[in-house]
Amino acid sequence: MRRSLLRSNRNYRLLLSGSVVTNLGDGVVAVAMPWLAALLTRDPVQIAAVATAGSLPWFLFALPAGVWTDRADRRRLMIRADCVRLALAACVVAMTLAVPAGPVAAGAQAGLVATLAAIAFLAGTAEVVRDNAAQTLLPSIVAGDELERANGQMWSAEQVVGRFLGPPLAGALIAAGISVPFGFNAATLALAIGTVWLITLPARTPAAPARFWPALLEGVGWMRRTPPILRLAVMLGAFNAVAVGGWTILVLYAQEVLGLGARGYGLLLACAAAGGVLGGIVAPGVARRIGMRASLILALASFVLLHLALGLSRSVPLAALAMVLEAAGVMLWNVVTVSYRQRLIPDGLLGRVNAVYRFFAWGAMPFGALGAGALVSALEPAFGRAAALHGPYLLGALVCGGLLVYGTLRLRFDS
């Protein structure tokens, strides 16, 4: 009988607790940030600009973050990054409290949107550092043969609080006042900082060379010599570009196509979270039963279904069902590929190779976010607002269909 990781591993218990707390706050902000942007402007390009600013750091700073992670105490790096995010959450609270009620002049509106985008950019930069350090820290806490189970539990717990509890909670908090969800996020970050601080690990000697570029190129070189990892990174980058584009427009799609308010929007995201929880629970067993390659093909098929459903329908139940299936597929993909990377990449290179991977996989997100806003604006004059809001999802279905074909033909693994 397998021992319980939560009972037997104090460091894992603390890391999981910190992740749960911070992801609850992140789940609230995932709804509150675009909702705040939509209160300031109805322009899809400006709303997309805020989302782009939040994801742009993955393109700009993912690679240097890998070098920093391999050079530094990863636990302290997480704490410092969360301290920055806490300060920025407090800035949003101050900004929302300072904005007068009622209509805002066009000039002031543009300034507020720009301020919100700047805060999103800085918070995204801190998130790049924090997430890379957290994912790199896990193999130091959990044995290699426990990684799928640990990742499955971590991802499931994050889904429960971040995407199942967070969105509907965000709807209630937004109803109390737009500053409230950001204050709540600051409180969760403070708790997460205290939890991660309690983790105790033996001192490690950073493996990265003293000079920045040789250290970075060592990680890039390892990735180039490992085609399966490189293919996964590029495929995930293509998916993330269209997925983030869809999520960027979702706040307008939910309001104007599906007719949902803040609570309904939060519940729609909660449906996706339910699928994510299910995926996190079953992913380790599915991977063992059908293998890594078949698991990833199954995940890719779910991505196609989601985008087709949102691109061709105006049905709330169908949208909710599609989001359940796609979220389960995302979790299956994440649990399988993250565990594969953590097992395959040497510890001394883990931060840098993870950063190179995320540069490809997540660096495309800001372009997808901005592209979705631009696509809606370009389609609206000719096809109308509702049809234009379907556009990013139809494009996503085309891209994900191509990834499914490519994955079926090219994905091969030695183990």
Rounded (to 5) percent helix, strand, coil in the chain: 85, 0, 15
pLDDT at 103: 55
Residue 41, pLDDT score:
81
Residue extents of the structural domains in the chain: 5-410
Helix (H/G/I), strand (E/B), else coil: 235: helix
Per-residue pLDDT, 258: 93
Alpha helices in 225-261 (DSSP H): 227-252
Question: For the stretch 230-262, what's the b/e string if a residue is b when 16 or more beta carbons lie within 10 angstroms of its beta carbon?
Answer: ebbbbbbbbbbbbbbbbbbbbbbbbbebbebeb
Residue 84 pLDDT: 96
CA proximity to 353, closest of 196, 230, 172: 230
Q: Which residues contact 245 (CB under 8 A, 6 or more apart)?
A: 368, 369, 371, 372, 375, 392, 395, 396
Residue 143, pLDDT score: 73
Please enumerate in sequence order all residues whose Cβ is within 8 A of that of 115, keeping only pairs 6 or more positions apart, or say none. 95
Determine the pLDDT at residue 159. Answer: 66
Closest C-alpha among 358, 331, 33, 19 to residue 162? 19
Structure tokens at 387: 């049809």
Average pLDDT for 117-130:
92
Q: How confident is the model at residue 1, as a pLDDT?
A: 46
pLDDT per residue over 55-86, tens digit each? 888 888 888 887 777 777 888 889 999 999 99
Say yes or no to pLDDT of 208 above 70: no
91 or 335: which leads in pLDDT: 91
Portion of the chain with pLDDT greater than 70, in percent: 93
CB hemisphere CA count around 209 (13 angstroms):
9
Residue 235 has pLDDT above 70, yes or no: yes
pLDDT digits (tens, 9 = 90+) for 20-45: 898 899 889 988 888 888 888 878 78
Q: Residue 102 pLDDT more than 60?
A: no
For residue range 137-188, what is the model confidence (pLDDT) as tens digits? Answer: 887 787 766 777 777 777 677 767 876 778 778 888 988 888 999 999 999 9
pLDDT class of 106 with cuts at 50, 70, 90: low
Percentage of residues of the chain with pLDDT beyond 90: 33
Contact 414, 293 (CB under 8 A): no
Give the model confidence (pLDDT) of 286-340 as tens digits: 888 998 899 999 999 999 999 999 999 899 999 999 999 988 898 899 888 888 8
Residue 155: what residue type? W
Tokens of 23: 């992801």
- Select from 26, 57, 51 the least CA-distant residue to 36: 51
pLDDT score recorded for residue 66: 79
Quote the CA–CA distance of 157 and 32 in Å, as a whole number: 21
Superfamily of domain 5-410: MFS general substrate transporter like domains (1.20.1250.20)
Alpha-carbon distance of 169 to 171, in angstroms, equals 5
Residue with tokens 């279904």: 305
Split at pLDDT 50, 70, 90, the class of 243 is very high
Q: Compute the mean pLDDT over every residue in the chain, rounded to the nearest whole number.
A: 85
| Number of residues assigned to the chain | 415
| Ramachandran sector of residue 263 (left: φ over 0; alpha: ψ -120 to 50; beta: rest) | alpha
Number of C-alpha atoms within 13 angstroms, CB side, residue 379? 20
Residue corresponding to tokens 């939509």? 38
- Mean pLDDT for 359-368 is 84
Measured CA to CA in angstroms, residue 289 lies from 86, 292, 404 at distances of 42, 9, 21
Instruction: Summarize the confidence of residues 254-267 as an average pLDDT.
Output: 86
The more confident residue out of 370 and 192 is: 192
CA distance 307 to 323: 9
